[in-house]
Amino acid sequence: MQKNNYLLGLALCLISTIFWGSQFPVMEPVLKVIDPFYFTLMRYGSVAIIFAILLLITEGKKAFHMDGHLLKLWLLGSSAIAGYSFLAFAGQKMAGNSGSIITSVLMAVQPLLAVLVARVYRGTRPTKVALLSMAVALIGVLLVVTNGNLSILTSGSHTLIAVVLILLGALCWVIYTTGGADFTDWSILRFSTLSTILGIGTVIVLLAIATAAGWLHIPTSNAVGSILPEWLYMVIPAGVIAVFTWNLGNRIVSPINGILFMNIVPVTSFIISAVIGYKVGSFEIIGAAIVISALIANNIYNRKHSS
């Protein structure tokens, strides 16, 4: 029975990372017709409604009480919903044709970013292996970003800015995940629902300010209608289902085992991008392999020294 539960946990982690890896190629056509900021409202606004209905049905009105955690939930929700989505997809759009590949690889670096967050948030010192893994992963990231042409970083292109935005977005998600570990006495659904609702509140305020200032414009009905399939995919599989399967899977197999599945994100993105016509370069493949190898090496070290 215990073995079956463990296999279930692994399967759940695999499902979520496949959905997350596929979301970046899916977003390519979306970013050409609608900005990532209003799409964040469309996506996570829908997710918040679904979560809220499920929470009301399963746990009742009392589950919507913050229990004195309003500020923390708001900060974590804003980091995940506004921070991650705004920055990651804005960076992907700026990166151009290779945006989905670059974004997916940078998302896979989250386990190493978690080492830095743990140092600041919990005072946990990073190991030498973790620091070495970060350095090796950085080399891999540079190969993916530049496709072997390092002059891109100094040629005045937007590539470097895009990388910074995506990494900051990934960092925002790591902060959300790290802070979420403080709510183990809450159900996964309750934490996900309340943090998402508060995060959407931040998104609405920011969009209202930006729209009033003329920096953003409300998307037309034609624009929204043209990306309806992608919107549904980002809400259901890559939103509600992926969050549930990820959190539940990690609870079963433990984060140290579940986090390894983040390596699936760039692999999935590479495969889908290749299928739809993007020519994946050899340096991009080599760079992704280096990043994945660094993550695996750090994971193996952590396993040995945590047992």
Span 146-163, pLDDT tens digits: 776 766 655 556 778 888
The predicted-structure confidence for 74-92, as pLDDT tens digits, reads as follows 999 999 999 999 999 999 9
Answer yes or no: is pLDDT of 122 > 60.
yes
28 domain-assigned: no
CA angle 33, 23, 272 (to 5 degrees): 100
The amino acid at residue 159 is T
Question: Who wins on pLDDT, 53 or 120?
Answer: 53
Q: Could you tell me what percent of the chain has a pLDDT over 90?
A: 41
- What's residue 156's pLDDT? 54
- What's residue 52's pLDDT? 96
- What's residue 1's pLDDT? 53
Burial group, residue 132, by CB count within 10 angstroms (0-12, 13-18, 19+): middle
- What's residue 44's pLDDT? 93
- Which of 28-37, 60-69, 206-215 bottoms out in mean pLDDT, i.e. has the lowest? 28-37
The predicted-structure confidence for 264-301, as pLDDT tens digits, reads as follows 888 888 888 888 777 777 888 888 888 888 878 877 77
pTM of the model: 0.84
Q: Are 112 and 295 in contact (CB under 8 A)?
A: yes
Q: Are 210 and 82 in contact (CB under 8 A)?
A: no
Helix, strand, coil shares of the chain as percentages rounded to 5? 85, 0, 15
Answer yes or no: is pLDDT of 201 > 70.
yes
What average pLDDT score do residues 126-139 get?
A: 79
What average pLDDT score do residues 189-213 get?
A: 95
- What's residue 15's pLDDT? 92
CA 158 → CA 90, 96, 152, 161, distances in Å? 12, 9, 9, 5
- What's residue 294's pLDDT? 82
What average pLDDT score do residues 95-104 get?
A: 80
4 domain-assigned: no
7 domain-assigned: no
274 domain-assigned: yes
- What's residue 306's pLDDT? 61
250 domain-assigned: yes
301 domain-assigned: yes
pLDDT band at 204 (very low <50, low <70, confident <90, very high): very high
Task: List Cβ neighbours of 165 (8 Å cut-off, separation of 6 or more).
Answer: 87, 88, 90, 91, 94
109 phi/psi in degrees, rounded to 5: -80, -5
Tokens 């190991």, residue located: 127
232 domain-assigned: yes
Closest CA to 233 of 8, 26, 64: 26
Reading the block at residue 70, the tokens are 């309003």
87 domain-assigned: yes
Domain count, the chain: 1
- What's residue 237's pLDDT? 94
